[in-house]
Chains A and B, each alone.
Chain A
Amino acid sequence: MPNPPLLDPIFHQTVRTRLGSLLDAGACSFAELKTRLGVTDGNLDAHLRKLSAAGYLHSRMVIKDRVQTNYSLSPSGKRAFAAYVSDLRAIIGPP
């Protein structure tokens, strides 16, 4: 049996796994992320900073009625998240 793959520690954390899946699907504002993840401002801040420090986060400023920043995974973040999901599948095995 081959050794199981090492999982990316950035995504291998319950909130950040969910955060990664949301950001992989498309851009979200801070408020949307907070509501969908059910976490506090400080908690979400900390997790976003982990992603950014790894280069996994991309942001874009948009102007609606107010100025708002939307977040998504950067290209390297998307690749890392896809690799994380694939590694997880390899550990769990086929359904």
Chain B
Amino acid sequence: MRPRLHVTNGDVAAETLGQLFADDDVLPWRDPMVDGPFPAGLDLAATSQLRAAHLAGPNLEYDQVLRDFRLRDEHLASASRYREITLWFEHDLLDQLQILQILDRLASAEFADTRLSMICINSFPGVDPFRGLGQLDPTQMATLRDKASAVTAQQLILARAGWAAFRSPDPRDIETFLTQDLQALPYLRAALARHLQEFPSTSNGLGRTDRQLMRLVSEGVVRPGRLFANNTALETTLFLGDWGIYRHIEDLCNARQPLLSAKPRGAFRGPLDPALSTEEFRQQELSLTESGRRVLANEADASDFRDIDCWLGGVHLTNGKPIWRWNESAGRLQVAQR
């Protein structure tokens, strides 16, 4: 009999599924998709190459990241060898983007007799707050099996359109996409709306995550671990893990004129920094710089103090070009000259 495949968002959930379905194959879709480039017009192979270059760093070798993306992509390309593929995901932005990318890819695959189904949840009885499938043990996960529903043509069409909008260089395509009926993918609207809030604010040039982190620091939350935990509480749906948050802190500390400063070194060091023990990492203490205080008070714009060179999906935000800004009071994007 042909095997079954389960695709999910990361190693923790994949491990649980592996215990639950010992005869089935499991593919974790590893990619922190909320961070870094996803330009339009690239196929999966070229996108993976670009993603690997973005994600590689001192503790993550480019060759290894690229290899794992390629192995993942090869595995999904062979999807038709399975009699059934089940996608296991949750409601947050990261998972919704993963769903879009996977369904976009599967929509163009030829399936003669492969059943494609999906389980996507935003809560689980007795797990409060529910942050994700990684919180569930095999027994809890097993109860979700009956919630799998066949992926519909409407879901595939929406996923392709949503994926194109996310990768568009013009983020207004996302706003246009959000005017559609998205009931077929019920968590997608909130997720993409949250994505738009990561664009620099018209008030002070900070994206929502940066603003939340700086506000927490100003309120006396100064240790990295506590910052991650308290920031989590500010999100309706968690989509950035601890490493993602630490990357934001690092960027705020490493600005041309830093907006945050870390004791004892000034610069913030990440958890895998070989020069730092776990305790030294935990004991780092963040504070607002004067520039940071002015930005947080809307007296200055973050772009006065830091160079911008980042990607939000298909949009490259960089100095010297008109830049897309998020107008919080209007609840929409607008273009600004800096």
Contact = CB atoms under 8 A, between A and B. Distances in A.
Interface string A31-56: 00000000001000100110011110
A55 B75 CA distance: 6
Contacts of A59: 28, 68, 71
Nearest to B59: A66
A12 interface: no
Contacts of A6: none
Interface string A49-79: 1001111011111010111110000111101
Given A66-B272, A76-B25, A53 B11 contact: no
Size category of the B interface is 20 to 34
B78 A53 contact: yes
Contacts of B78: 52-55
A57 B75 contact: yes
B68 A54 contact: no
A41 B62 CA distance: 13
B11 A61 contact: yes
Nearest to B79: A55
Contact of B71 (A41, A52, A65, A76): A52
Given A30-B64, A49-B74, A61-B30, A75 B24 contact: yes
Contact of A49 (B22, B71, B82): B71
B75 A53 contact: yes
Interface string B1-16: 0010100000100110
Given A30-B67, A45-B70, A48-B67, 11 more contacts: A45-B67, A49-B74, A55-B75, A60-B14, A61-B11, A61-B30, A67-B272, A74-B26, A75-B3, A75-B23, A76-B3
